Structure 1
Amino acid sequence: MAPEYHGHGRSELHTNTTAMAAIEQDEPRPPHRWRMIVYSVIGIFMFFVPITLNGANTIPLDHLVQGIRALLGDADRYVALAIIAAGAVFPFATGRWRQSPLKTVFALFAVLGLVSASMITFGFGPAFLHEPSIGPFLMDSLVIPVGLIVPVGAVFLALVIGYGLMEFVGVYLRPAMRPLWRVPGRSAVDAVASFVGSYAVGLLLTNRMYRTGRYTAREAAIIAVGFSTVSVTFMVIVARALDLMDVWLWYFLGTLVVTFLVTAITVRIPPLSRIPDAVMEGVEPKPEHPVTRNRFAVARRAAEQTLAAAPALPRNAWINLKDGLIMVMQILPSIMSVGLIALLLATYTPVFSWIGVIFLPFFWILGFSDPALMSSAAATSVAEMFIPATMLAGHEDFVSRFVIGVICVSAIIFFSALVPAILATDIPIKLWQLLVIRAQRVILTILLATPLAHLVAAVT
């Protein structure tokens, strides 16, 4: 039986001695400390400060991507097709398709995605694929915007998470992590980076922390299924599809609050609460020591250590651009395969209407005008997080669109990417547990996001 730990039981004297030792060590301060402030401000501006250009009010990153798309013109489809083709080849070229049966299945889905994208781009194949609400909608409203915004957004995301801002903020978030989410304070950076950055990077960090004894199995599972959602750049795509960019800050902050509140509830109920609170077998536990005083000094040192290790801006931008390209290579084929299958099932079969029966009573009780559509849309997010947005795009009811937009993010668990990524880690969480947790998250999101949506509608 692996030893358990909960991050408590150390004396305050030992805690403060450890903290002060970390602060007073003779490490030289990194040069060009202005970078943390300047780069962070630029990154925050690009993601979170809407501005009006040519009559459109949205964040600068979205303006930039729209400008790039305008320059590409009709070539944007060929750029997206090239990325999908690279994504279809990638698992076979790297040998990843052999690593597990699940990865083999997703490698085949990537090939299917390439075939579908080719048909849509060059105008051949079955007629249903070319229905405006099916293939062209996926390509023009999701695939192309995602193909552009993820790598471009990754460059600017480096400014937010790569030069110490996250570590500085993380120290101040530590006192809330254990009482609210039952995870150690050190996971604050992991949780926030997972939310605003990349679930893939977040899961990589979470798995590493679990393997080195810094998280227990339960803590790693909480981070993986509670915070490792899609990035801010993906949220922009959802907001655009649902015509929510004019309330972008409300949508982003509301989604963050709902997602973290849902996580605070699910950690206290099975199956998450039943996962063993023990470190990985054969690994020495490394509990953290809370910081109770000199918090600013500790936060500054944590930020400076990250800043000292950060590469120069051009190299960091190039590294993140490559990471963004690799990620989008894996995502676009999934949208054009798993996402397409889900959209076809939603359009031509009652499958998701059946699954959505779980959520129908909640939408009906809360007074939605079309609870059947809402429940079906919520059900489709298990396949691909973008599909609910496609089903509600153009809907006249703002509250319905807002709630579905929050569900797209807060549900977190979807089969086109996150499920295989979690199952590929060492975190001991089973597929049935993921499905139960997802249902819990959707129900709780409906209950929390609906009054929020009414509030936003009233004040905007």
Structure 2
Amino acid sequence: MTDISYTERGSRGSGAVKLILYSLIGIFVFFVPVTIGGKSTIPLDHAATAIVTHARPAAIAFVCLLIAYGALAPFVQGTWRGSVTGTIFSFLRVLGAVLAGMYLTGVGPAELFAPDMLPFLFDKLVLSVGLIVPIGALALGFLVGYGLLELTGVLVQPVMRPLWRTPGWSAIDAVASFVGSYSLALLITDRVFREGKYTVREAAIIATGFSTVSATFMVIVAKTLDLMGSWNLYFWTTFFITFIVSAITARMWPLAGMEHPADRDAPLPADRSRLQAAFDAGLEQAAIAKSLPATLRENFLDGLRMAAMILPSIMAVGLLGLLAAKHTPIFDVIGLLLYPVTWIAQFSEPMLAAKSLAAGLAEMFLPAILLKESDLALKFVAAVVSVSQVLFLSASIPCVLATTIPLRFRDLLVIWYVRTALSILLTAPVAWLAVSMGWLS
């Protein structure tokens, strides 16, 4: 008995060390600004910038390999025929690879080589995403792999049902979706839904309300809009706005009317306070987690696969979106639906704001690209809305449609509009306050 108790104490002690030490490392990498060479930003951004600056040829070669893999893999694996959307995006990734080749060889129409076209997409977005996502995937191993999410999930269980109409155990899913990969998060949500632990309404709320781009992608948006000097303000504003909007949309059509036979909440373990249960959950995860090298290897490979799928899409959908914004009225038309919202928000150029924010439907980066020269308040709103809208055609919408959750394309368009409008109205006052108080830099 003594030996067993000693073993258990040792296991809990080891788990506690992992939980505390690895979580602190993850928090430091993602949330603690460090000044290096006169530039203050988070360590993750410093690492990616250093590689681009000091090893640019190697970075370009690395990114090109990812793009080639992302373009070829669906055809080699045969997944391009899985669905209509899958087929469309498989060919778009091929187009993205061709565009990357055109840019690097200097072959193609002069218009595509304008500073805000292929050069911007490749140099400012693709290079950054291609490095930050795999590096960020490594860092996420510390943040999400050793109990911090489980601990946080148990602590916030009491607010999940009242605020977001989802069961207590969805807290882990929700937080993991925000700080991790939306594609992986959607796979988790779909799996739990197929196991019967989520109702249709709960699965739809989580898929459209929490499965947004990860913190690593938020770094790209902040860099594009020169907001890294206010990273923590941006991150936490986006975090809270995203979840506030999700709480509202959960009570609106079409989500509110979806099938929901009954609540399915798990009770708190007997004879344990919530804080005790939270630490137990964190320690249990830390104790059973894979070794650090195995976790880092697995996360890095996931990051490579994710980057490979996203990079050619950014090139293709990003360019098509920029060309559409420049030469067609499509975003003007969609922007008309958002114009009343941007007018209420009191932007100096409400129609420009509406048109640019509407472009987020095509690709979440487009508002950042189109508004990178705007005033500080509008750039901050664009940065938040790009993330809190959750849904966009270049990636997340096809991922949602690929799950077994019965969400129609029409439903997703309605949810996108409602989320975008609410995000603008909620973020604008924060932006004006931050500017007036000197919090934005």
- Shorter chain as denominator, the TM-score bin is over 0.9
Pairwise CA distance, 1:365 = 2.6
| Unaligned stretches of 5+ residues in structure 1 | 1-25, 280-284
Kindly indicate whether the alpha-carbon contact (under 8 Å) linking 2:169 and 2:265 is maintained by their aligned counterparts in 1.
no
- Match of 1:32, SS state, is helix
Pairing of 1:105-254 with structure 2 (within 5 A)? 105-254=88-237
Q: What is the CA deviation profile of residues 94-139 of structure 1, one whole-angstrom value per residue up to 9, with x for unaligned ones? A: 2211211211111111111111111011100111111111110000
Paired with 1:163 and 1:81, the residues of 2 have a C-alpha distance of 33
Residue 454 of structure 1 pairs with residue 436 of structure 2: no
Q: What is the CA deviation profile of residues 205-251 of structure 1, one whole-angstrom value per residue up to 9, with x for unaligned ones? A: 11111111111110010000001000000000000001111111000
Given the superposition, is the C-alpha separation of residues 200 and 278 from structure 1 closer, same or farther in structure 2, using an over 3 Å criterion?
farther
Given the superposition, is the C-alpha separation of residues 148 and 458 from structure 1 closer, same or farther in structure 2, using an over 3 Å criterion?
same
Which residue does the alignment assign to 1:32?
A: 14
Pairwise CA distance, 1:369 = 1.1
Counterpart code for 2:397:
V
- Match of 2:140, SS state, is helix
User: Considering only aligned residues, what root-mean-square deviation do their CA atoms show, in Å?
Assistant: 1.7
Seq. identity, %? 48
Residue 437 of structure 1 pairs with residue 426 of structure 2: no
Residue 317 of structure 1 pairs with residue 300 of structure 2: no
Which residue does the alignment assign to 2:365?
A: 386
Q: What is the CA deviation profile of residues 409-428 of structure 1, one whole-angstrom value per residue up to 9, with x for unaligned ones? A: 00010011101111111111
- Match of 1:359, SS state, is helix
Pairwise CA distance, 1:372 = 1.5
Kindly indicate whether the alpha-carbon contact (under 8 Å) linking 1:339 and 1:384 is maintained by their aligned counterparts in 2.
yes
Pairwise CA distance, 1:300 = 2.1
Which residue does the alignment assign to 1:363?
A: 342
Paired with 1:297 and 1:54, the residues of 2 have a C-alpha distance of 43
Residue 298 of structure 1 pairs with residue 277 of structure 2: yes
Which residue does the alignment assign to 1:18?
A: none
Paired with 2:345 and 2:117, the residues of 1 have a C-alpha distance of 30
Kindly indicate whether the alpha-carbon contact (under 8 Å) linking 2:51 and 2:59 is maintained by their aligned counterparts in 1.
no
Paired with 1:346 and 1:202, the residues of 2 have a C-alpha distance of 31
Kindly indicate whether the alpha-carbon contact (under 8 Å) linking 1:78 and 1:121 is maintained by their aligned counterparts in 2.
no
| TM-score, scaled to structure 2 | 0.94
Kindly indicate whether the alpha-carbon contact (under 8 Å) linking 2:317 and 2:394 is maintained by their aligned counterparts in 1.
yes
- Match of 2:40, SS state, is strand
Residue 84 of structure 1 pairs with residue 67 of structure 2: yes
Paired with 2:337 and 2:282, the residues of 1 have a C-alpha distance of 45
Residue range with higher mean Cα deviation, 302-311 or 86-95: 302-311
Q: What is the CA deviation profile of residues 369-396 of structure 1, one whole-angstrom value per residue up to 9, with x for unaligned ones? A: 111211111111111100110001132x
Which residue does the alignment assign to 1:63?
A: 46
Pairwise CA distance, 1:35 = 1.0
Paired with 1:217 and 1:290, the residues of 2 have a C-alpha distance of 24
Aligned length in residues: 430
Which residue does the alignment assign to 2:252?
A: 269
Which residue does the alignment assign to 2:379?
A: 401
- Match of 2:156, SS state, is helix
Paired with 2:25 and 2:408, the residues of 1 have a C-alpha distance of 41
Which residue does the alignment assign to 2:404?
A: 426
Kindly indicate whether the alpha-carbon contact (under 8 Å) linking 2:167 and 2:264 is maintained by their aligned counterparts in 1.
no
- Match of 1:82, SS state, is helix
Kindly indicate whether the alpha-carbon contact (under 8 Å) linking 1:402 and 1:453 is maintained by their aligned counterparts in 2.
yes
Pairwise CA distance, 1:196 = 1.1
Kindly indicate whether the alpha-carbon contact (under 8 Å) linking 1:266 and 1:441 is maintained by their aligned counterparts in 2.
yes
Paired with 1:277 and 1:353, the residues of 2 have a C-alpha distance of 38
- Match of 1:415, SS state, is coil
Counterpart code for 2:225:
L
